[in-house]
Structures are given as structure tokens and as C-alpha cells.
Chain A
């Protein structure tokens, strides 16, 4: 039986299979409409996350399965002081697979170690959010036809943004990927990640101004500066609107550059960009459902063995 804690839990070959399945689901949804008949997904969300939870629920419902769960810690037994280990032991009796989001880093890993059913990490604090990374990879692969040979700009909060860290870790496994890391000085990528890129000989540069590098990019991954990751309100206010992608900046970009964003978007992408065919962040949400459908099928299959 397999779990998903980290996007790197799957090899490049396993990811290819997963994405092929996701694309097949996209093209032949009827074929999979009853693939999970009689199966139950538990969504154990200890902190609010409308988007990820709905995406998981949509994925299971589209596969013909059913869903139960809770969407905040106060409505769960955690409010009474129950440990994650005990909760998953009980949930294992009620469901066939579990998606867990928790504000504490490593909580889904603790759950997986005690679980009788596959556990998917649906986000653990600022640590990992593997299904977002799978979503990003599937979107890039589907829209660009491949996951290597590109220059990707990652812009915004590169310090606390877990989606960025996971995406970098996932993309370094593909050939000829060049990173341009665009952030204010205070929100640069953590040193361990910089060291990793250097040690691996991956080409990257760190810049502050987005305008300077727009013409070079094949992909632009925008991120939100997340209020919940700051201990200091003043820093958040100062940095939250540091980057705003607008029509004018898009004029300098390649004709086939893609703009991605894990959403929710606040001010970092102006709504005037939404109608640009290069803006694929809402398509990304759709691919998020397909990749979660493929993941549920793959992990349920692994639980049979």
C-alpha cells in the first residue's frame, strides 16, 4: 500500500504513468465515472482550505465514489485533544482512502505510519503540498507537451511558498530546466534549496525585478504572499503587493509563455490578464481534479496488493 507525502515519492516514470492516466480521464471521463463505485474518500481537513478539499471531493464524486470528512479542527475530535494517530486509526475503519490537511508539518506522515488505508498529504503547514505540485506538472506537461527544456520564472514568496519549493524539487529531475527566481530580498528561496541547485549544477539566477526577465520565460509561476506564514504583520503589509502581473508586463513575454498560479490569487495577477490565452491558472484548477482522480485510482489500486 502506498501513500503520498511528498511529490518526490513517485519516480519520474511513475509520474508519467499518473499523468497519462489523468489525460485519459480528461479525454474519456465517462470511462471512469464508476471506477470508484462503493469507495469512500475521507477528507480530514484540520485547517480551512476550500479549494483543495473541493478538488478532492469533486475528484472522488466524478469517479463514482462517496466522500465524508470534516473541514476544520474545531468540528473534529482534535478539538477534544485526540492525536492524529488515533484519528486515522478510526478513519481507516470508515473510509478506503484519506486526504489530510493539517497546520502542523509532518502530521500526514504520522497518520500514514498508523493507517490501514492510503493517506494523501493535502498540505501540511509550510512543508509539502504534493497534489499541488502534481497539478502544476500535469498542467505544464499537457500544455507544453513536455516537462523539460524550459526556462521557468518563479515569482513572489519564494521563502515560505511551499508550492515553489516542491515544484523546484520536482522539476530538477527533468533535463535542461533553467530557473529564474524572482523575489524581494526578504523572500528569497531558503539556502538549503539554493545549495541543492548549486550542488546539482542546475542553472538558476535570482533577480528582484520581474520586468527584466519577462522575455526569457517559457513559464511564469506566480505566487501569493501568504499572510498566515508571517509572524510579523508589518512585514506582510510591506511585501504583499511587491509584484503585480498586468497587461503591460505581459506584452514583453513570449507568445507561447504560460502563466501559472496555485490560486487563490489576490493582487499579484491583475484581472485584466485573465482573458489572455497565456493565462492558464484556471485550467490548472481543472487539471487539479484530473490528477487527483488519477491519484485516487492509483493509490486504491496499490492498497489491493
Chain B
């Protein structure tokens, strides 16, 4: 088993379905941050068989984790401060998502006016369906 050291402050995202870690990396904007990020792919898991883990060493107020719920709401989010877990965050589907996913409807106004933000609203919390604010097209995943 690969060993990655403890972090002092930041997040440990556990129980990520195998293969989803890179999607999380980009959607959280980790590629744009100047901080230490560890991505572990296909780690053994009793619960999932295989899982991914992402560790981010950063100020805990810098990341907006809303998008995680959309990728997979069963991800475990451990908030770390002074090397200890201070909170296990529960993921809740956000009411709106801005510029997280793109509307793919060729008839939508966002297809011709590039400067418009792509805004989706939570249309069905049970089925986890988001729809485009402008054209009501269902999102096809992120």
C-alpha cells in the first residue's frame, strides 16, 4: 500500500468512486491552486472494492465543496486542522451550480453568447436532476 504523509490543514476526500478523482481535481479547481495535492487511485476499499482518495493541503476556507455532492454525494469529506480531523462534512446537493457544468443544448442561448454563466438549478433532489436555468435542459453529468 502506498503511503502518503499526514497533512496539517486541508481536506481528505475519501470513498471517491474509483476513477472519479481527476474529475474532482478539475472541478474543485485544484489545478489552479498552489498547494500540495495527493491523488491516490484504485486504493483497496472494504466498502467499494476500489476507491480513490484526494488529499489537499490548504486553508480550509479556500475550497467550495458544493460540487462534490454533484459528482457523488457519498464521498467522505474529512476536514483537517492541526493534523487532526475536526469535522466530517455531510454533502448536500446545492440549489444552483454556476459554471460547474455546461449546457449542451444547441438551442440554448448559452450556445451563442459565450460570456453567459452556465447556471443549473436543482430540479429534482431525489433523482439528483439539475436543469439549465435558461432552457431547462437536463444536465448530462459532469
Contact = CB atoms under 8 A, between A and B. Distances in A.
A85 B112 CA distance: 13
Interface string B109-133: 1111101100000000000000011
Contact of B107 (A83, A104, A109, A192): A104
Given A102-B109, A104-B111, A110 B116 contact: yes
Interface in A66-105: 83-85, 102-105
Majority SS at the chain A contact face: mixed
Contact of B132 (A103, A106, A125, A192): A106
A126 B133 CA distance: 15
A126 B113 contact: no
Contacts, number: 45
Interface string B53-73: 000000000000000000000
A236 B113 CA distance: 30
Contacts of B110: 106
Contacts of B116: 110
A167 to B, nearest CB: 16
Contacts of A124: 109, 135
Interface residues of B, number: 17
Contacts of A85: 113
Contacts of B105: 105
A150 to B, nearest CB: 27
A104 B138 contact: no
A278 interface: no
16 contacts: A84-B109, A103-B107, A104-B109, A104-B111, A104-B112, A105-B105, A105-B134, A105-B135, A105-B137, A106-B110, A106-B134, A109-B109, A110-B113, A124-B109, A124-B135, A126-B107
Interface of A: 83-85, 102-107, 109-110, 124-127, 192
